[in-house]
Chains A and B, each alone.
Chain A
Amino acid sequence: MEQKEILLQVRDYRVAFYTREATVYAVNGINYDLHKGETLGIVGESGSGKTVSCMSMLKLISMPPGKIDSGSVLFGGVDLAKLKRDKIRPYRGKEIGVIFQDPMTAFNQVITIGEQMIEGHMAHFRSSRKEALARALSLFELVGIPSPESRLKDYPFQFSGGMRQRAMIAMALMCDPKMLIADEPTTALDVTIQAQIVDLVKDLRKQIGTSIIWISHDLGVVASLADRVMVMYAGYIIESASSDDLYERPLHPYTKGLLESLPSMNEDASKRLTSIGGMPPYMNKLNIGCPFAPRCKHVMDKCLKENPLLKPISADHLVACFLM
């Protein structure tokens, strides 16, 4: 990125869940910047902290048991991490739009989509019903929902999966947010519909220029969308690079392993897939060494004693590994 303006700056951000049974360390000190107009992909397996790290910024996780332990999230000069619950509301939807994974559960089933869309706009901008409806209509057109006027009066269950996700995107854009958080927005969709949505987002990005954080477990989807990709594992960022660089030259053994374990669509499939042995750790205690060490093929003594920090290898490629 050429010296673009920084929109979101996350520093030493830690989130943990404290329940009576156990403490789960979900996000363990992550640092990153999101630039204006940039699309940042966050990739990781379930439990890697990718969703928690983003949703907790807007306090969209249940707190308690969740708690932001330390760190700062600077957004337009304001530290979101330190804001009280009621002070965060203006940011939700207005400054930062959210697209959820499952549009079926994200909508209220007994209120028309149109009503749900204008609600936020009217609250944030004190706009009239008419203005808000006009905005909703233009967004429905933008996201390619056919016969938008009548569809605004429909209930969520009358939409198909793909259309519902389009409506969800339109709703997230209602207040013209500076930034969008998309939490696995295509995971619940079929491949052909997924391709439609990805195309739509690419188009929208060109037209509106919002920054996007795209959370996904699917390396394929992220590849086609993101400018920069961060790989998370056990609550740590273990690698961060421009997407071209990451897919071409993955450096962390985990990233390499993930890419190798995908069945290839290009060459004729070889007999066996290279798999990463073991499984992701359950983070009920903070590890001393590298979190990936128990599964790593190249593990050294040092890896067990010390947790590697995220260090730049080249200008825009950061890796947390002692091998580098």
Chain B
Amino acid sequence: MKEHVVLHKNDFVTGDSFLRKALIRFSRHRLAVFGLIMLLCIIAGSVFYPMKNQNIAFDLNFLAISQKPNAGHWLGTDELGRDVFMRLLLGGRVSLSVGFVSVIFSTCIGILLGGIAGYFGGKTDMIIMRFTDTVMCFPFLIIAMILVVILGPSLWNSMLAIAMLNWTSTARITRGEILYLRERQFIEADRCLGIRDSKILFSHILPNALSPIIVNATFNIANAIMTEASLSFLGLGVPLPTPSWGNILQDSSSLYKLQTMPWIWIPAGLMIALTVLSINFIGDGLRDALDPKMNL
């Protein structure tokens, strides 16, 4: 019994490592790759382009009011003569960070609460899920407003407010997945082998529940970007004159601007749509890439 089979490193028949396989699978997913490139472009543009000459997004310039797109101002200027292109990229910084940071927060809260509810079940489950339902019933904007009024309007506080109210869908999805997974035989096998509950939950159940959570998170990013816009509109989001895609859109909601100055709002709307679409594609690609059952 005790004769070891001596194995050398190159004896293992592994093909490729899991990560490499995941990468290959992701790269086969054309839409996901397109989404990733798109998103990277948007991020890179927002981060690097405004590094110099930022002030054209803030300084009033009465010599160039409401200009149509031209060589000097690629996307024209607004009614105060500010460069729309620069404002758009700067707005990307705000909107993207609100989207990502608040979703990271809300997903963590959602996984934790949904995970506990689903794994332990019974009374714990009931209490957490009724609480989740209650939060879902809150009129979203009013609560967000109260939170922001208490905390004061700023970028960080709007992220926090959005995260505090956005975790419910993640919690419900996580719970559902876990309820299904914990009855699976391999989890029963773990229990039979005497593996700790926390280890079962975090390293055996959660990785299997990850794909719907990731997909849901991508939707939540879109949600968060839009919510930030509403908050900004009410003066409770990112304070003006700092631009965000949301407040650019809200700013041009008058009929006059909608009809006569489409170069202000179309790009912002397009950016939101493109970003959300790219993130959704990436989510889709990730789901396939992270699933070891998918063939190469």
Contacts and interface: CB of A to CB of B under 8 A. Distances in A.
- Touch between chains A and B, by CB atoms below 8 Å: yes
Nearest to B295: A21
A22 B296 CA distance: 10
A323 B260 CA distance: 88
Interface of A: 21-22
Contacts of B295: 21-22
3 tightest CB-CB pairs across the interface, nearest first? A21-B295, A22-B295, A21-B296
3 contacts: A21-B295, A21-B296, A22-B295
B109 to A, nearest CB: 37
Contacts of B296: 21
What's the dominant secondary structure at chain B's contact region?
Answer: loop
Interface of B: 295-296
A21 to B, nearest CB: 4
A22 B295 CA distance: 9
B61 to A, nearest CB: 55
A295 B189 CA distance: 32
B213 to A, nearest CB: 26
A233 B32 CA distance: 40
Contacts of A22: 295
B207 to A, nearest CB: 23
Nearest to B296: A21
Nearest to A19: B295
A21 B295 CA distance: 7
A22 B294 CA distance: 12
A220 B296 CA distance: 39
B254 to A, nearest CB: 50
Nearest to A21: B295
A17 to B, nearest CB: 13
Contacts of A21: 295-296
Nearest to A22: B295
B21 to A, nearest CB: 13
A254 to B, nearest CB: 28
A21 B296 CA distance: 7
B227 to A, nearest CB: 39
B139 to A, nearest CB: 37
A308 B296 CA distance: 33
A232 to B, nearest CB: 25
Nearest to B294: A21
A21 B24 CA distance: 13
A188 to B, nearest CB: 18
A18 to B, nearest CB: 14
